[in-house]
Amino acid sequence: MDMRPIAILGATGSIGTTTLAVARAHPSRIKVVGLTANSNWRELISLVKEFEVKTIALAHPQAAKSARESGEFPGVRILEGIEGMTEVACLPEVQTVVSAVVGTAGLKPTIAALRLQKTIALASKELLVLAGKFVTATAKQAGATILPIDSEHNAIHQLLRHRPSHEVARLVLTASGGAFRNTPLSDLPKVTPAQALQHPSWNMGPKVTIDSATMANKGLEIIEAGWLFNIPSERIDVVVHPQSIIHSMVTLTDGSLNAQLSPPSMVYPIQDCLLYPQRLPCPAPILDLNEVIKLEMSPPDLERYPCLRIARQAAKTGGTAPAVFNAANEIAVEAFVAGKLAFTGIAPLIEKTLNLCSSREPSSLDDVLNADAEARAMASKLAPGFAR
Protein backbone atom coordinates (compact mmCIF):
# COMPACT_ATOMS: atom_id res chain seq x y z
CA MET A 1 0.00 0.00 0.00
CA ASP A 2 1.31 3.43 -0.94
CA MET A 3 2.12 6.30 1.44
CA ARG A 4 -0.06 9.39 0.97
CA PRO A 5 1.60 12.71 1.80
CA ILE A 6 -0.95 15.27 3.02
CA ALA A 7 -1.09 18.96 3.87
CA ILE A 8 -3.61 20.23 6.42
CA LEU A 9 -4.98 23.74 6.00
CA GLY A 10 -6.36 24.61 9.42
CA ALA A 11 -4.35 22.11 11.46
CA THR A 12 -5.28 23.44 14.90
CA GLY A 13 -9.05 23.44 14.40
CA SER A 14 -11.50 20.63 15.09
CA ILE A 15 -11.16 19.01 11.65
CA GLY A 16 -7.38 19.44 11.63
CA THR A 17 -7.03 17.87 15.06
CA THR A 18 -9.12 14.86 14.04
CA THR A 19 -7.18 14.53 10.78
CA LEU A 20 -3.96 14.28 12.80
CA ALA A 21 -5.56 11.57 14.95
CA VAL A 22 -6.32 9.58 11.78
CA ALA A 23 -2.73 10.10 10.60
CA ARG A 24 -1.46 8.74 13.93
CA ALA A 25 -3.63 5.66 13.49
CA HIS A 26 -2.18 4.93 10.05
CA PRO A 27 1.50 5.93 10.13
CA SER A 28 2.38 3.56 7.29
CA ARG A 29 -0.28 5.09 5.02
CA ILE A 30 -0.46 8.81 5.83
CA LYS A 31 2.46 11.21 6.04
CA VAL A 32 1.88 14.80 7.18
CA VAL A 33 4.22 17.09 5.22
CA GLY A 34 2.61 20.53 5.57
CA LEU A 35 0.57 22.35 8.23
CA THR A 36 -1.11 25.73 8.38
CA ALA A 37 -2.85 27.64 11.16
CA ASN A 38 -4.36 31.06 11.60
CA SER A 39 -2.18 32.48 14.38
CA ASN A 40 -1.74 29.75 17.01
CA TRP A 41 1.90 28.94 16.23
CA ARG A 42 2.58 27.51 19.70
CA GLU A 43 0.19 24.66 19.04
CA LEU A 44 2.19 23.74 15.96
CA ILE A 45 5.44 23.21 17.90
CA SER A 46 4.67 19.69 19.11
CA LEU A 47 2.97 18.75 15.83
CA VAL A 48 5.98 19.75 13.74
CA LYS A 49 8.22 17.62 15.96
CA GLU A 50 5.85 14.65 16.08
CA PHE A 51 5.28 14.45 12.32
CA GLU A 52 8.69 15.84 11.27
CA VAL A 53 7.04 18.55 9.19
CA LYS A 54 9.42 20.82 7.27
CA THR A 55 6.99 23.48 5.99
CA ILE A 56 4.29 25.41 7.86
CA ALA A 57 2.32 28.59 7.23
CA LEU A 58 0.54 31.03 9.51
CA ALA A 59 -2.18 33.26 8.11
CA HIS A 60 -1.22 36.17 10.39
CA PRO A 61 2.17 37.67 9.45
CA GLN A 62 2.84 38.71 13.05
CA ALA A 63 2.29 35.13 14.21
CA ALA A 64 4.73 33.90 11.56
CA LYS A 65 7.27 36.47 12.76
CA SER A 66 6.84 35.33 16.37
CA ALA A 67 7.23 31.69 15.33
CA ARG A 68 10.48 32.45 13.48
CA GLU A 69 11.87 34.39 16.42
CA SER A 70 10.89 31.72 18.96
CA GLY A 71 13.63 29.30 17.94
CA GLU A 72 11.13 26.43 18.32
CA PHE A 73 11.18 25.43 14.64
CA PRO A 74 14.76 24.53 13.69
CA GLY A 75 15.08 23.60 10.02
CA VAL A 76 11.43 24.42 9.32
CA ARG A 77 10.27 26.85 6.62
CA ILE A 78 7.72 29.24 8.14
CA LEU A 79 5.55 30.93 5.51
CA GLU A 80 2.84 33.52 6.03
CA GLY A 81 -0.46 34.82 4.75
CA ILE A 82 -2.68 33.31 2.09
CA GLU A 83 0.34 33.09 -0.23
CA GLY A 84 2.13 30.96 2.35
CA MET A 85 -0.91 28.73 2.80
CA THR A 86 -1.10 28.35 -0.96
CA GLU A 87 2.53 27.30 -1.12
CA VAL A 88 1.93 24.64 1.54
CA ALA A 89 -1.09 23.32 -0.40
CA CYS A 90 1.00 23.18 -3.58
CA LEU A 91 4.09 21.44 -2.17
CA PRO A 92 5.28 19.02 -4.89
CA GLU A 93 5.22 16.01 -2.57
CA VAL A 94 1.64 16.61 -1.37
CA GLN A 95 -1.02 14.32 -2.84
CA THR A 96 -4.02 15.25 -0.68
CA VAL A 97 -4.89 18.64 0.79
CA VAL A 98 -7.27 18.76 3.75
CA SER A 99 -9.03 22.10 3.27
CA ALA A 100 -10.42 22.98 6.71
CA VAL A 101 -9.95 26.75 6.95
CA VAL A 102 -13.02 28.66 8.10
CA GLY A 103 -14.25 31.35 5.71
CA THR A 104 -12.76 32.48 2.40
CA ALA A 105 -9.08 32.21 3.35
CA GLY A 106 -8.90 28.65 2.02
CA LEU A 107 -10.28 29.53 -1.42
CA LYS A 108 -7.05 30.50 -3.19
CA PRO A 109 -4.96 27.61 -1.75
CA THR A 110 -7.68 25.09 -2.61
CA ILE A 111 -8.08 26.25 -6.22
CA ALA A 112 -4.30 26.39 -6.67
CA ALA A 113 -3.99 22.79 -5.41
CA LEU A 114 -6.79 21.62 -7.71
CA ARG A 115 -4.99 23.12 -10.69
CA LEU A 116 -2.01 20.93 -9.80
CA GLN A 117 -4.34 17.88 -9.80
CA LYS A 118 -4.10 17.33 -6.06
CA THR A 119 -6.97 15.61 -4.28
CA ILE A 120 -8.93 17.96 -2.03
CA ALA A 121 -10.49 16.58 1.15
CA LEU A 122 -12.96 19.42 1.62
CA ALA A 123 -14.25 20.42 5.04
CA SER A 124 -14.77 24.13 4.32
CA LYS A 125 -18.31 24.13 2.93
CA GLU A 126 -18.09 27.91 2.47
CA LEU A 127 -15.83 27.41 -0.56
CA LEU A 128 -18.54 25.66 -2.55
CA VAL A 129 -21.29 27.92 -1.20
CA LEU A 130 -19.36 31.00 -2.32
CA ALA A 131 -17.59 29.76 -5.39
CA GLY A 132 -18.92 26.32 -6.30
CA LYS A 133 -19.09 27.32 -9.95
CA PHE A 134 -15.36 28.04 -10.06
CA VAL A 135 -14.11 25.35 -7.67
CA THR A 136 -15.91 22.53 -9.50
CA ALA A 137 -14.94 23.90 -12.92
CA THR A 138 -11.29 24.02 -11.87
CA ALA A 139 -11.44 20.43 -10.61
CA LYS A 140 -13.07 19.23 -13.83
CA GLN A 141 -10.60 21.05 -16.06
CA ALA A 142 -7.58 19.74 -14.13
CA GLY A 143 -8.95 16.23 -13.67
CA ALA A 144 -8.67 16.65 -9.89
CA THR A 145 -10.84 15.01 -7.26
CA ILE A 146 -12.86 16.68 -4.49
CA LEU A 147 -13.75 14.37 -1.60
CA PRO A 148 -16.23 15.79 0.94
CA ILE A 149 -15.36 15.61 4.64
CA ASP A 150 -18.74 16.85 5.94
CA SER A 151 -20.31 13.69 7.35
CA GLU A 152 -23.51 14.17 5.36
CA HIS A 153 -21.81 14.72 2.01
CA ASN A 154 -19.25 12.03 2.69
CA ALA A 155 -22.12 9.62 3.33
CA ILE A 156 -23.74 10.56 0.01
CA HIS A 157 -20.37 10.18 -1.74
CA GLN A 158 -20.12 6.67 -0.34
CA LEU A 159 -23.69 5.84 -1.40
CA LEU A 160 -23.26 7.19 -4.94
CA ARG A 161 -19.92 5.56 -5.77
CA HIS A 162 -20.16 3.74 -9.11
CA ARG A 163 -23.90 4.49 -9.34
CA PRO A 164 -25.11 6.11 -12.61
CA SER A 165 -26.84 9.47 -12.15
CA HIS A 166 -30.07 8.34 -13.84
CA GLU A 167 -30.67 5.96 -10.91
CA VAL A 168 -30.66 8.78 -8.33
CA ALA A 169 -34.01 10.43 -7.56
CA ARG A 170 -33.32 12.47 -4.40
CA LEU A 171 -30.68 13.13 -1.77
CA VAL A 172 -31.63 13.21 1.91
CA LEU A 173 -29.44 15.14 4.36
CA THR A 174 -29.92 14.33 8.03
CA ALA A 175 -29.76 17.01 10.73
CA SER A 176 -29.34 16.57 14.47
CA GLY A 177 -31.58 19.53 15.23
CA GLY A 178 -28.89 21.21 17.30
CA ALA A 179 -28.88 22.41 20.87
CA PHE A 180 -32.46 23.75 20.91
CA ARG A 181 -34.40 21.08 19.06
CA ASN A 182 -36.63 20.52 22.12
CA THR A 183 -36.59 24.06 23.54
CA PRO A 184 -40.00 25.78 23.56
CA LEU A 185 -40.16 28.39 20.80
CA SER A 186 -41.09 31.04 23.37
CA ASP A 187 -37.74 30.48 25.14
CA LEU A 188 -35.53 30.86 22.03
CA PRO A 189 -35.18 34.69 22.27
CA LYS A 190 -33.52 34.22 25.68
CA VAL A 191 -31.02 31.45 24.88
CA THR A 192 -27.32 32.25 25.30
CA PRO A 193 -24.23 31.49 23.18
CA ALA A 194 -23.02 29.11 25.90
CA GLN A 195 -26.25 27.14 25.61
CA ALA A 196 -26.02 27.13 21.80
CA LEU A 197 -22.56 25.56 22.02
CA GLN A 198 -23.86 22.53 23.94
CA HIS A 199 -24.40 20.25 20.96
CA PRO A 200 -26.17 17.01 21.94
CA SER A 201 -24.35 14.74 19.44
CA TRP A 202 -21.22 16.26 17.92
CA ASN A 203 -18.02 17.87 19.14
CA MET A 204 -17.43 20.64 16.59
CA GLY A 205 -16.05 24.16 16.34
CA PRO A 206 -18.16 27.02 17.77
CA LYS A 207 -19.33 28.49 14.45
CA VAL A 208 -20.67 25.22 13.00
CA THR A 209 -22.20 24.29 16.39
CA ILE A 210 -24.27 27.48 16.42
CA ASP A 211 -25.11 26.95 12.74
CA SER A 212 -26.42 23.54 13.75
CA ALA A 213 -28.70 25.16 16.34
CA THR A 214 -30.17 27.50 13.69
CA MET A 215 -29.90 24.85 10.97
CA ALA A 216 -28.11 27.40 8.79
CA ASN A 217 -25.50 24.69 8.38
CA LYS A 218 -28.06 22.41 6.72
CA GLY A 219 -28.94 25.22 4.34
CA LEU A 220 -25.28 25.60 3.45
CA GLU A 221 -25.07 21.83 3.00
CA ILE A 222 -27.96 21.85 0.52
CA ILE A 223 -26.03 24.36 -1.58
CA GLU A 224 -22.79 22.39 -1.19
CA ALA A 225 -24.48 19.11 -2.15
CA GLY A 226 -25.83 20.70 -5.30
CA TRP A 227 -22.31 21.48 -6.49
CA LEU A 228 -20.73 18.23 -5.31
CA PHE A 229 -23.30 15.91 -6.85
CA ASN A 230 -24.81 18.04 -9.62
CA ILE A 231 -28.29 17.79 -8.11
CA PRO A 232 -30.74 20.75 -8.04
CA SER A 233 -31.72 21.93 -4.55
CA GLU A 234 -35.35 20.96 -5.23
CA ARG A 235 -34.23 17.31 -5.17
CA ILE A 236 -32.39 17.59 -1.85
CA ASP A 237 -34.43 16.86 1.29
CA VAL A 238 -33.64 17.41 4.98
CA VAL A 239 -34.86 15.30 7.90
CA VAL A 240 -34.19 15.78 11.61
CA HIS A 241 -32.47 12.71 13.03
CA PRO A 242 -31.47 13.36 16.66
CA GLN A 243 -29.25 10.29 17.07
CA SER A 244 -26.85 11.36 14.26
CA ILE A 245 -26.24 7.73 13.30
CA ILE A 246 -27.73 7.91 9.80
CA HIS A 247 -25.54 10.51 8.13
CA SER A 248 -27.42 10.78 4.85
CA MET A 249 -29.65 8.81 2.51
CA VAL A 250 -30.22 8.48 -1.21
CA THR A 251 -33.62 7.74 -2.76
CA LEU A 252 -33.24 5.77 -5.98
CA THR A 253 -35.55 5.98 -8.97
CA ASP A 254 -37.16 2.67 -8.04
CA GLY A 255 -38.16 4.11 -4.67
CA SER A 256 -35.63 2.26 -2.51
CA LEU A 257 -33.81 4.24 0.16
CA ASN A 258 -30.10 3.66 0.81
CA ALA A 259 -28.48 4.96 4.00
CA GLN A 260 -24.97 5.26 5.46
CA LEU A 261 -24.69 4.64 9.21
CA SER A 262 -21.87 5.06 11.71
CA PRO A 263 -21.41 6.56 15.17
CA PRO A 264 -21.32 10.40 15.27
CA SER A 265 -17.55 10.82 14.88
CA MET A 266 -15.70 12.87 12.27
CA VAL A 267 -12.98 10.22 12.28
CA TYR A 268 -15.09 8.15 9.86
CA PRO A 269 -15.49 10.67 7.01
CA ILE A 270 -11.96 12.04 7.42
CA GLN A 271 -10.40 8.58 7.21
CA ASP A 272 -12.61 7.76 4.23
CA CYS A 273 -11.23 10.81 2.38
CA LEU A 274 -7.60 10.20 3.32
CA LEU A 275 -7.59 6.50 2.40
CA TYR A 276 -10.13 6.51 -0.46
CA PRO A 277 -10.89 4.14 -2.09
CA GLN A 278 -9.34 1.72 0.40
CA ARG A 279 -10.91 0.64 3.69
CA LEU A 280 -8.91 0.04 6.85
CA PRO A 281 -9.87 -0.33 10.54
CA CYS A 282 -11.02 3.00 11.97
CA PRO A 283 -9.75 4.43 15.29
CA ALA A 284 -13.27 5.27 16.46
CA PRO A 285 -16.04 3.32 18.20
CA ILE A 286 -18.01 1.07 15.87
CA LEU A 287 -21.78 0.80 15.74
CA ASP A 288 -22.65 -2.05 18.11
CA LEU A 289 -25.76 -3.75 16.78
CA ASN A 290 -26.01 -5.78 19.98
CA GLU A 291 -27.13 -2.60 21.70
CA VAL A 292 -30.62 -1.17 21.34
CA ILE A 293 -30.40 1.51 18.65
CA LYS A 294 -33.14 4.09 18.31
CA LEU A 295 -33.45 5.84 14.95
CA GLU A 296 -35.91 8.76 14.86
CA MET A 297 -36.65 10.97 11.87
CA SER A 298 -39.01 13.88 11.36
CA PRO A 299 -39.38 16.83 8.97
CA PRO A 300 -37.75 20.09 10.14
CA ASP A 301 -40.00 22.69 11.72
CA LEU A 302 -39.41 25.83 9.63
CA GLU A 303 -40.80 28.04 12.41
CA ARG A 304 -38.01 26.72 14.66
CA TYR A 305 -35.44 26.76 11.84
CA PRO A 306 -36.19 29.76 9.57
CA CYS A 307 -32.56 29.81 8.36
CA LEU A 308 -33.27 26.60 6.45
CA ARG A 309 -36.11 28.25 4.55
CA ILE A 310 -33.97 31.30 3.78
CA ALA A 311 -31.06 29.14 2.58
CA ARG A 312 -33.35 27.21 0.26
CA GLN A 313 -34.49 30.48 -1.26
CA ALA A 314 -30.86 31.55 -1.76
CA ALA A 315 -30.09 28.20 -3.40
CA LYS A 316 -33.08 28.62 -5.74
CA THR A 317 -32.07 32.19 -6.62
CA GLY A 318 -28.50 31.10 -7.31
CA GLY A 319 -25.80 33.45 -8.56
CA THR A 320 -24.26 35.37 -5.67
CA ALA A 321 -27.26 34.78 -3.33
CA PRO A 322 -25.61 31.80 -1.56
CA ALA A 323 -22.50 33.93 -0.96
CA VAL A 324 -24.68 36.65 0.55
CA PHE A 325 -26.48 34.11 2.76
CA ASN A 326 -23.16 32.73 4.01
CA ALA A 327 -21.64 36.16 4.70
CA ALA A 328 -24.73 37.49 6.47
CA ASN A 329 -24.91 34.35 8.58
CA GLU A 330 -21.29 34.74 9.67
CA ILE A 331 -21.90 38.35 10.73
CA ALA A 332 -25.10 37.36 12.53
CA VAL A 333 -23.38 34.53 14.42
CA GLU A 334 -20.54 36.85 15.43
CA ALA A 335 -23.08 39.37 16.77
CA PHE A 336 -24.93 36.63 18.67
CA VAL A 337 -21.71 35.32 20.24
CA ALA A 338 -20.78 38.88 21.23
CA GLY A 339 -24.13 39.28 23.01
CA LYS A 340 -25.27 41.96 20.55
CA LEU A 341 -27.96 39.92 18.84
CA ALA A 342 -30.64 37.59 20.12
CA PHE A 343 -30.60 34.04 18.84
CA THR A 344 -33.92 34.72 17.11
CA GLY A 345 -32.38 37.78 15.43
CA ILE A 346 -29.99 35.69 13.33
CA ALA A 347 -32.50 34.63 10.66
CA PRO A 348 -34.17 38.07 10.22
CA LEU A 349 -30.75 39.71 9.80
CA ILE A 350 -29.79 37.20 7.11
CA GLU A 351 -33.10 37.60 5.29
CA LYS A 352 -32.95 41.39 5.33
CA THR A 353 -29.39 41.32 3.98
CA LEU A 354 -30.44 38.97 1.16
CA ASN A 355 -33.33 41.27 0.27
CA LEU A 356 -31.05 44.31 0.05
CA CYS A 357 -28.12 42.70 -1.80
CA SER A 358 -29.08 41.98 -5.39
CA SER A 359 -28.03 38.59 -6.75
CA ARG A 360 -26.07 38.35 -9.99
CA GLU A 361 -24.33 35.62 -11.93
CA PRO A 362 -20.61 35.85 -11.10
CA SER A 363 -18.18 35.80 -14.02
CA SER A 364 -15.07 35.61 -11.85
CA LEU A 365 -13.89 34.86 -8.33
CA ASP A 366 -13.59 38.60 -7.77
CA ASP A 367 -17.34 38.92 -8.36
CA VAL A 368 -17.96 36.35 -5.64
CA LEU A 369 -15.55 37.97 -3.20
CA ASN A 370 -17.07 41.40 -3.89
CA ALA A 371 -20.56 40.01 -3.17
CA ASP A 372 -19.21 38.50 0.04
CA ALA A 373 -17.68 41.81 1.12
CA GLU A 374 -20.83 43.75 0.19
CA ALA A 375 -23.01 41.36 2.21
CA ARG A 376 -20.73 41.56 5.25
CA ALA A 377 -20.83 45.34 5.16
CA MET A 378 -24.61 45.36 4.75
CA ALA A 379 -25.21 42.85 7.55
CA SER A 380 -22.86 44.73 9.88
CA LYS A 381 -24.74 47.95 9.14
CA LEU A 382 -28.13 46.31 9.75
CA ALA A 383 -27.15 44.32 12.86
CA PRO A 384 -27.79 47.09 15.44
CA GLY A 385 -31.38 47.24 14.24
CA PHE A 386 -31.83 43.60 15.24
CA ALA A 387 -30.10 43.98 18.62
CA ARG A 388 -31.42 42.38 21.77
Check which CATH number belongs to the domain holding 106 and give it.
Answer: 3.40.50.720
Question: Is there a single domain that holds both residue 114 and residue 210?
Answer: no
State the Cα–Cα distance between residues 310 and 215, nearest whole angstrom: 10
Q: How many whole angstroms separate alpha carbon 215 and alpha carbon 225? A: 15
Residue type (1 letter), 308:
L
CATH code, domain carrying 288: 1.10.1740.10
The residue ranges of the chain whose pLDDT is under 50 are none
Is residue 213 situated within a structural domain? yes
Q: Collapsing DSSP states into helix, strand and coil, what is residue 278?
A: coil
Tens digit of pLDDT for each residue in 287-338?
998 888 899 999 999 999 999 999 999 999 999 999 999 999 999 999 999 9
- The DSSP bridge pattern shows strands 246-252 and 168-175 to be antiparallel
- The confidence score (pLDDT) of residue 104 equals 84
Assigned domain for 34 exists: yes
What is the DSSP track for 180-193?
Answer: TTTS-GGGGGG--H
**Given 69, 104, 123, which residue is the final one in a domain?**
123
Asked whether residue 103 falls in the same domain as residue 165, the answer is no
Dist. CA 74–CA 68, nearest whole Å: 9
Residues 75 and 212 in one domain: no
Residues in Cβ contact with 366 at an 8 Å cutoff, skipping those fewer than 6 apart: none
Q: Are residues 119 and 193 in the same domain?
A: no
Helix (H) or strand (E) holding 352: helix 346-356
Q: Say yes or no: 83 and 191 in one domain.
A: no
User: Is 94 found in the same domain as 162?
Assistant: no
The residue segments making up the domain with residue 358 are 154-386
Q: Which helix H or strand E contains 21, and what residues bound it? A: helix 14-25
76/223 same-domain check:
no
Residue 142: predicted pLDDT: 98
Question: Which pTM value belongs to this model?
Answer: 0.94
Pairing of strands 119-122, 96-99: parallel
Element (H, E) at 330: helix 321-337
What φ, ψ does residue 77 adopt, rounded to 5°?
A: -80, 125
The C-alpha R_g of the chain, in whole angstroms, comes to: 20
Residues 6 or more apart in contact with residue 187 via CB below 8 angstroms: none
Beta strands at 246-252 and 257-261: parallel, antiparallel or unpaired: antiparallel
In this structure, are 85 and 176 located in the same domain?
no
* Overall domain count for the chain: 2
- Do residues 175 and 241 lie in contact, with contact meaning Cβ atoms separated by under 8 Å? yes
Asked whether residue 108 falls in the same domain as residue 232, the answer is: no
In-domain check, residue 58? yes
Co-location of 158 and 303 in the same domain? yes
- Give domain status of residue 130, yes or no: no
Task: Identify whether the C-beta of residue 375 lies closer than 8 Å to the C-beta of residue 349.
Answer: no
